[in-house]
Structure 1
Amino acid sequence: MEAKKSIGIIGMGDMGKMYAWRLSAAGWKVNACDMPERFEALVEEFRSRVGHPSCTSYTNRAVLSLYQPNVEILRTGHLVSRVSDYIIYSVEAKNIDAVVKQFGPSTKLGAIVGGQTSCKAPEIAAFERHLPSDVHIVSCHSLHGPKVDPKGQPLVLIKHRATDEAFEFVEMVLSCLNSTHVYLTGEQHDRITADTQAVTHAAFLSMGAAWNANNQFPWETARYIGGIENVKINITLRIYAAKWHVYAGLAILNPDAQKQIKQYAQSVTELYKLMLGGHREELRNRIMAAREAVFHTARPSKQEILLKEDVLNQFSLGELPEQRLKNNHLSLLAMVDCWWKLGIVPYDHMICSTPLFRMWLGITEYLFRNNKLLEEAIDTAIDDNTFRHDDLEFTFAARDWSSRVTLGNFDGYREKFEAIQKYFEPRFPDATKVGNEMIKTILAQTRERET
């Protein structure tokens, strides 16, 4: 560790705090700040708490129980920028330009600056626009949430404007996360995150909106319990338990994401119309063409599927019914249709995949590579009206989310997200607990099958 060098963090939300605790636990001096009105609360938090869940969950508790964080909370980003050798902007993507404009000119001579936003185009543009020319730019993005163990998770590193020495320093600092480093350009990052996250988020956001519109808690009805349904419910609640801007920034500021979310809404709509019209042959031909393009051409069928039903059944928020109820799985059919229409091969970016994407791809693959289950979904779509009203609300929701994203409506996105969030809030603790175990189990199994 280089003597006397310190790390700055501007923005102490959930991810900013996670970085602060972990970097300080690794021995680095951390200078941090947030909004002025949060100064006193942050000072007290870091003064009074010894050890922290983000550190102790996955590391040596006995050691960290004796650990006092070396984090100094400063009043403004000017002070953080002035004294820190490596500064990380951990702020909302929509605010990155304004924040860098305010604090960037105070950056220490020759320092390294990076950001943690989910969309790199506006972040890097802000750095180029507002930072002094002597500053190195090395951006990063941990592809997981603050409550997920970063060990083995993808950590994207972007050497945009930096010497080899500066880049190596960033790698050394972030090595304490024990993540898997992935080296990309800003453009590559935005395309890949769109491919692996944008439509995934749109699907689960739409499920939550549909259940809310029907005044329905899905874990209280037998048709949404067991197997694939467990993943749908747990991930939907996990997304709505997070902060709205985590998803809004990626969706609205990333042009590739906008395009994909729009196509997903179109795929949902077109498939639903085929179901309503009873067009069995046309629906089946379209689904099979998508399956061939995404799964058979892109991934040899002899490979073992990522997930199995016996694993999925372990993680339920309700009691398993005696007999599994049939579902047309419109959300999954539309996902593969969307990938097919856009020419996306989801396996190409597994090294950058988030835990949510791995699970979503896993259950999608489980459906599409199980001939009996896929044929059952098609028959159910045409012959069974049980899910018609749910699918109608899901279609409305997918189109509505797409419209808000296309219009760049952050306020509208937030309003809808937080209204649904409030509806599901009572079950977040249970969903988080079950979801964490599900992620841990499923990721362990998917890694075993990929090695």
Structure 2
Amino acid sequence: MHDRITADTQAVTHVAFLSMGKAWHASQQFPWEGARYVGGIENVKINLMLRIYAQKWHVYAGLAIMNPEARRQIAQYAASTTELYKLMLEGRADELRKRVYRARDKVFGTDGHPMWEEKPMLDDGLLDGFGLGERPEHILPNNHLSLLAMVDCWSELGIVPYDHMLCSTPLFRLRLGVAEIVFRDTAKLDETLRVAIEDNTFRSDDLEFTFAARGWAECVSLGHFETWKERFVVTQNFFKPRFPEATKVGNAMMKALLDSRK
């Protein structure tokens, strides 16, 4: 039971952020310098990704590789990412919408019987103030593949994230909170799905993210600690110059969010 709770509240959260970092590294980009990764949701993604890569490599390796429940969930996250990306790439809008809304209902509840509280976990407006770069005049849309895949993964495995809130980590609550921002608002979710099908601007970023998720899943399934270390450290070194600033901004963001929940 402990393995299951630990996996439910940490495994997919960590691999999602590890995959983001790996994808941005593969593209040789610092996401805060562009116009796609801007705003409250993106600030959480970037700050938490940097927070994870600022740790020692073994902090997350043991959790992922030694926990059989975590291995299963990480494999499903990679599968969900791949399958959703294929639906986007092939323009199968109806199938994508049906799958995402089915996942929403299973994880978050239906409109008449929602799982979430009346007050959202996170204030998107509050999160806007914690970016690492300057806010561009024109912000490009995002299809939030990493969030759609996380909710799809929970749905496929029958996980209800609210069941373990007492045991959850701050990273998990932030990750769940940004998923809520997208999934609570039907208009926002529909716009996310529209962008996923119609906007090819960042299709290469999504491809790198899919590769990264599959790479972490394969590493975990093989139980290769050395491969994990090599994958982690090379990306860690890419982002290392920004760790001090990211830690400062990330700590301020977490404090503001905790204060807002009091």
Shorter-chain TM-score: what band? Answer: over 0.9
Residue in 2 aligned with 1:168?
Answer: none
- The more displaced of 363-372 and 419-428 is 363-372
Check if 1:427 corresponds to 2:219: no
Query: 1:328 is matched with which residue?
Result: 143
Distance in 2 (alpha carbons) for counterparts of 1:238 and 1:223: 20
Q: CA deviation at 1:441?
A: 1.4
Q: Which has the higher helix share?
A: 2
Does the 8 Å contact 2:40/2:125 carry over to 1? Answer: yes
Q: Which moved more, 1:348-357 or 1:322-331?
A: 322-331
Structure with bigger gyration radius: 1
Kept in 1: contact 2:35–2:138 (CA 8 A): no
Aligned to 2:17: 204
Counterpart for residue 210 of structure 2: 395
CA shift, 1:312, in A, is 1.0
Residue of 96, 103, 116 corresponding to 1:283: 96
Q: Which residue of 1 aligns with 2:79?
A: 266
Identify which range, 301-310 or 351-360, moves more after superposition: 301-310
* Contact residue 115 and residue 162 of structure 2 kept, 8 A: no
Residue number in structure 1 paired with 2:219: 404
* Paired AA for residue 227 in structure 2: G
More strand per residue: 1
Q: How far apart are residue 300 of structure 1 and its match?
A: 4.1
Deviations 1:414-447 (A, max 9, x none): 000000000000000000000001111112334x
Give the AA of the match of 1:374: L
Match of 1:439 among 254, 257, 260: 254
1:391-424 CA-to-partner distances (Å, cap 9, x unmatched) read 0000000000000000000000000000000000
Q: Is 1:227 matched up with 2:9?
A: no
Q: 1:193 to 1:364 in 2, by over 3 A?
A: same
The percent identity for this pair of structures is: 63
Question: Aligned residue for 1:374?
Answer: 189
Aligned partners of 2:53, 2:26: CA distance in 1, in Å?
Answer: 15
User: How far 1:281 moved relative to its partner?
Assistant: 0.3
For 1:263 and 1:376, how far apart are their aligned partners in 2? 25
SS in 2 for 1:321: coil
Give the whole-Å Cα distance in 2 for the aligned partners of 1:443 and 1:206: 26
Give distance in 1, aligned partners of 2:250 and 2:119. Answer: 24
User: Is 2:50 the counterpart of 1:250?
Assistant: no
Instruction: Give the drift of 1:323.
Output: 4.0
1:417 aligns with 232
Alignment counterpart, residue 109 of structure 2, candidates 269, 272, 296: 296
Counterpart contact for 2:35–2:140, Cα < 8 Å: yes
Gaps of 5+ in 2: none
Deviations 1:347-404 (A, max 9, x none): 0111011111110000001111111111111000000001100000000000000000
Contact 1:358 1:443 in 2 (8 A): no
State the partner residue of 1:344: 159
Pairing of 1:56-67 with structure 2 (within 5 A): none
What is the SS of the residue equivalent to 1:313? Answer: helix
CA distance in structure 2 between the partners assigned to 1:197 and 1:325 by the alignment: 30
**Structure-1 residue corresponding to 2:4:** 191
Q: Distance in 1 between matches of 2:114 and 2:56?
A: 35
Tell me if structure 2 keeps the 8 A contact 1:355–1:443: no
Which residue, 361, 367, 390 being the options, matches 2:176? 361
Partners of 1:291 and 1:300 lie apart in 2 by 10
Question: Paired residue for 2:54?
Answer: 241
2:139 & 2:177 partners in 1: Cα distance? 19
Displacement after TM superposition at 1:302 (Å): 6.5
**Is residue 313 from structure 1 mapped to residue 128 from structure 2 by the alignment?**
yes
Unaligned runs of 5+ in 1: 1-187
After superposition, the CA RMSD in angstroms is 1.2
Secondary structure at the aligned position of 1:314 is classed as helix
Deviation track 1:156-201 (CA, whole Å, cap 9, x = no partner) reads xxxxxxxxxxxxxxxxxxxxxxxxxxxxxxxx32211100000000
Give the number of the structure with larger relative contact order, counting CA–CA contacts within 8 Å between residues 6 or more apart.
Answer: 2
| Structure 1 position 301, deviation (Å) | 5.8
